[in-house]
C-alpha cells in the first residue's frame, strides 16, 4: 500500500483498505497465537549471561566479606561494604549514601511510602497517614507499579505531562509551590518507562532547586535503567543527589536501583541511595524490620561483576541481544505505520520499552483487538494514574522477552490493529 496519509483517503478508499487489512488480521487470528508482550522481562538468553554468577560462590569459596565478617550469618543491616562500593560508583554517590536491600527495588519504594505513611520521612513534621491528604505528581505516561503503590496507600495522583526532556517543569513547579498536599513525585529519569526519555540537566536542576510548600517533598528517583544502554552513544543523566546538595536540598531525593535487569530479575540485589540524614533515619527503622538482606547474594554479585567496567561489558552483551529486537519493532512499525499519520513512537537509546501513541481514543480498542489475535500487551491506560489515559492513545511495547519470531508476528499484528482501529475512527469521524 505504501505510506499513505490515511486522513487524506476517502471513505470508499478507507473501506477498501479496511477489508484487505481485516483479511490479514483474520489469518493471524486463525493461527491461535499466544504471545505475551505485557511486561518488561528479560529473555532467557539475557538471563544466561549471568549464569556464571551461580558458580561465583560454591562450598569451597570464602564466604567472608572484605571486613572479615561471615556473609552466611546474621548482621549487615544495610549491605556488605563491597556491594555498597560497587553501587556507589554506579550511582556516583558515597558509600555512606547507599543502602543495599533485598531482591526488589520496588519493595524498597513500597516500604519507603509505607514508612512515610506510618512514621513520616526524615524531613516530615507528621506521618503522612495523619495528613488530610497526600498527593504525588506522576509524570505520565509512567510506570504502572509506581501508580499501584499510590493507589494502595490512598495517595492521590496528579498526572504531569511528559515532554521530550522530562516532566513539564512549569506544571511541576506550580503544583509543589502552591499545594502543601503534594509530597512527592515519581521519576524514572533515565530511559523512562515507557517513553525512553532521559531527563535533561535543566529538568534535574529545576527539580532539585524548586520551591516546595511541603517540608518533606520527596523525589522518588527510580534509576532502574541507569546502565541499560542500547547504543554506543548512551544518554547521560545529571547526578540528582549532587544537584539537590548544590541547591541546598540534600534530603529531597531518594534514589532507587537494582540489578533485576542486569543479573537475574528475581534474584538480583536492590539499592537505595540518598543523603546520610535520610538513610540513617531509614536504617533505624530497617533495624526493626529485619536483621539484614541476603549477604551471600550480594557477595555473589560482587564477585561476578567485579567492577563498573565489567558491568559495562556485561550490559553490552544484553544490548547485543535486545537491540535487534528493538530494531525489529522499529522496522515493522516503520513499514506498517509510518507516513499514515495514525501513530507515533519513540526510539530510545536504552531501557526496556517502546512507547506507541495512536490517534486519540484508539489505544484501548487496539490492545483489545490484539488480544483477540493472541497478543497480550500491557493494558491500555496502565501507563497513567488510575489506569486512565486521558487521550486513550498510549501503548507500551515490551520487546525484550519474546523470541525474535514471536516479536515479529506480535508487532505485525499490533500494526494491523492500529491500522484497523484508526480506519474505523477516521470513518466514524467522517460521519
Binding-residue total with a copy of itself (CB under 8 A): 56
Contact range with a copy of itself by CB under 8 A, out of 35-43, 213-221, 410-418, 421-429: 35-43
- Taking CB under 8 A as the binding criterion, the range among 41-49, 86-94, 349-357, 366-374 that sits at the site for a copy of itself is 41-49
User: According to the binding rule CB under 8 A, does residue 102 interact with a copy of itself?
Assistant: yes
Q: How far is the CB of 322 from a copy of itself (least distance, A)?
A: 14
Numbers of helices and strands, H then E, in the chain = 13, 13
Environment class of 289 (CB within 10 Å of its CB; exposed 0-12, middle 13-18, buried 19+):
exposed
Closest CA to 225 of 348, 380, 402: 348
- Report the C-alpha gap between 31 and 374 in whole angstroms: 9
Residue 66 near a copy of itself by CB under 8 A: no
Q: Stretches 86-94, 111-119, 342-350, 366-374: which one binds a copy of itself (CB under 8 A)?
A: 111-119
| 417 forms part of the interface with a copy of itself (CB under 8 A) | no
- Which one of the spans 287-295, 345-353, 373-381, 386-394 is the region binding a copy of itself (CB under 8 A)? 287-295
Among 57, 227, 319, 343, binds a copy of itself (CB under 8 A): 57
The span of 40-48, 177-185, 213-221, 379-387 binding a copy of itself (CB under 8 A) equals 40-48
β 98-100/375-377 pair status: unpaired
| 106 touches a copy of itself by CB under 8 A | yes
The DSSP bridge partners found for residue 271 are: 100, 257
Q: Is 34 in the site for a copy of itself (CB under 8 A)?
A: no
Does 321 bind a copy of itself (CB under 8 A)? Our answer is: no
Cis previous bond, 141, omega within 30: yes
H or E segment to which residue 159 belongs: strand 156-163
Give the per-residue SS3 of 325-391.
HHHHHHHHHHHHHCCCCCEEECCCCECCCEEEEECCCCHHHHHHHHHHCCEEECCCCCCCHHHCCCC
**Quick one: cell of 376?**
497480550
Is 192 a residue that touches a copy of itself (CB under 8 A)? Answer: no
Per rule CB under 8 A, is residue 266 in the interface with a copy of itself? yes
Residue 126 as a binder of a copy of itself (CB under 8 A): the answer is no
Cell, residue 303: 564477585
Q: Does 59 bind a copy of itself (CB under 8 A)?
A: yes
160/138 Cα distance (integer angstroms): 6
SS3 393: coil
* Other CB atoms within 10 A of residue 144 CB: 19
User: What character string, x for contact with a copy of itself (CB under 8 A) and - otherwise, covers 226-255?
Assistant: ------------------------------
State which of residues 15, 62, 277, 289 lies at the interface with a copy of itself (CB under 8 A): 289
| Dihedrals phi, psi of 377, to nearest 5 degrees | -105, 165
Stretch that binds a copy of itself, among 150-158, 206-214, 220-228, 350-358 (CB under 8 A): 150-158
Q: Contact positions toward a copy of itself, by CB under 8 A?
A: 39, 41-42, 44, 47, 50-52, 54-55, 57-59, 61, 63, 70-76, 102-104, 106-107, 110-111, 114, 117-119, 129, 145, 148-149, 151-153, 260, 264-267, 285, 288-297
Amino acid at each position: 500500500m505504501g505510506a499513505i496519509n490515511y486522513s487524506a483517503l476517502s471513505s470508499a478508499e478507507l473501506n477498501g483498505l479496511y477489508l484487505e487489512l481485516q483479511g490479514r488480521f483474520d489469518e493471524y487470528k486463525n493461527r491461535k497465537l499466544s504471545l505475551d508482550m505485557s511486561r518488561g522481562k528479560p529473555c532467557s538468553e539475557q538471563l544466561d549471561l549471568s549464569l556464571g554468577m551461580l558458580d561465583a560462590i560454591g562450598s569451597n569459596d570464602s564466604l567472608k566479606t572484605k571486613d572479615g565478617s561471615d556473609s552466611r550469618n546474621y548482621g549487615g543491616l544495610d549491605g556488605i561494604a563491597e556491594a555498597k562500593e560497587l553501587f556507589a560508583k554506579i550511582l556516583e554517590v558515597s558509600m555512606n549514601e547507599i543502602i543495599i536491600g533485598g531482591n526488589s527495588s520496588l519493595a524498597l519504594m513500597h516500604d519507603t511510602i509505607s514508612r512515610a505513611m506510618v512514621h513520616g520521612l526524615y524531613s516530615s513534621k507528621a506521618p503522612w497517614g495523619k495528613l488530610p491528604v497526600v498527593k504525588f505528581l506522576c509524570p505520565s505516561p509512567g510506570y504502572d507499579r509506581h501508580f499501584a503503590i499510590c493507589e494502595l496507600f490512598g495517595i492521590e495522583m496528579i498526572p504531569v505531562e511528559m515532554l521530550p526532556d522530562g516532566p513539564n517543569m512549569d506544571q511541576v513547579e506550580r503544583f509543589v509551590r502552591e499545594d502543601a498536599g503534594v509530597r512527592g513525585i515519581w521519576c524514572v529519569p533515565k530511559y523512562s518507562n515507557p517513553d525512553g526519555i532521559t531527563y535533561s540537566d535543566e529538568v534535574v536542576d529545576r527539580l532539585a532547586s524548586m520551591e516546595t510548600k511541603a517540608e518533606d517533598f520527596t523525589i522518588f528517583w527510580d534509576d532502574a535503567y541507569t546502565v541499560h544502554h542500547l547504543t554506543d552513544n548512551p544518554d547521560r543523566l545529571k547526578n540528582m543527589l549532587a544537584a539537590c546538595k548544590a541547591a541546598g536540598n540534600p534530603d529531597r531525593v531518594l534514589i532507587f536501583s537494582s540489578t533485576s535487569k542486569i543479573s537475574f530479575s528475581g534474584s538480583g540485589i536492590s539499592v537505595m541511595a540518598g543523603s546520610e540524614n535520610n538513610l540513617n533515619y531509614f536504617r533505624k527503622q530497617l533495624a526493626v524490620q529485619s536483621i539484614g538482606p541476603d549477604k551471600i547474594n550480594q557477595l555473589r554479585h560482587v564477585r561476578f561483576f567485579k567492577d563498573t567496567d565489567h558491568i559495562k561489558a556485561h550490559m553490552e552483551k544484553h544490548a547485543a541481544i535486545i537491540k535487534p529486537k528493538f530494531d525489529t519493532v522499529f522496522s515493522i512499525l516503520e513499514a506498517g505505520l509510518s507516513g499514515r499519520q495514525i501513530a507515533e513512537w519513540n526510539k530510545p537509546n536504552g531501557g526496556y520499552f517502546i512507547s506507541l501513541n495512536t490517534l486519540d481514543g484508539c489505544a484501548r480498542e487496539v490492545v483489545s483487538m490484539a488480544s483477540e489475535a493472541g497478543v497480550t500487551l500491557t493494558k491500555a491506560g496502565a501507563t497513567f494514574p488510575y489506569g486512565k489515559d486521558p487521550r486513550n492513545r498510549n501503548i507500551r511495547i515490551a520487546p525484550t522477552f519474546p523470541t525474535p519470531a514471536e516479536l515479529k508476528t506480535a508487532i505485525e499484528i499490533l500494526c494491523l490493529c492500529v491500522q484497523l482501529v484508526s480506519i474505523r475512527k477516521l470513518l466514524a469521524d467522517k460521519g
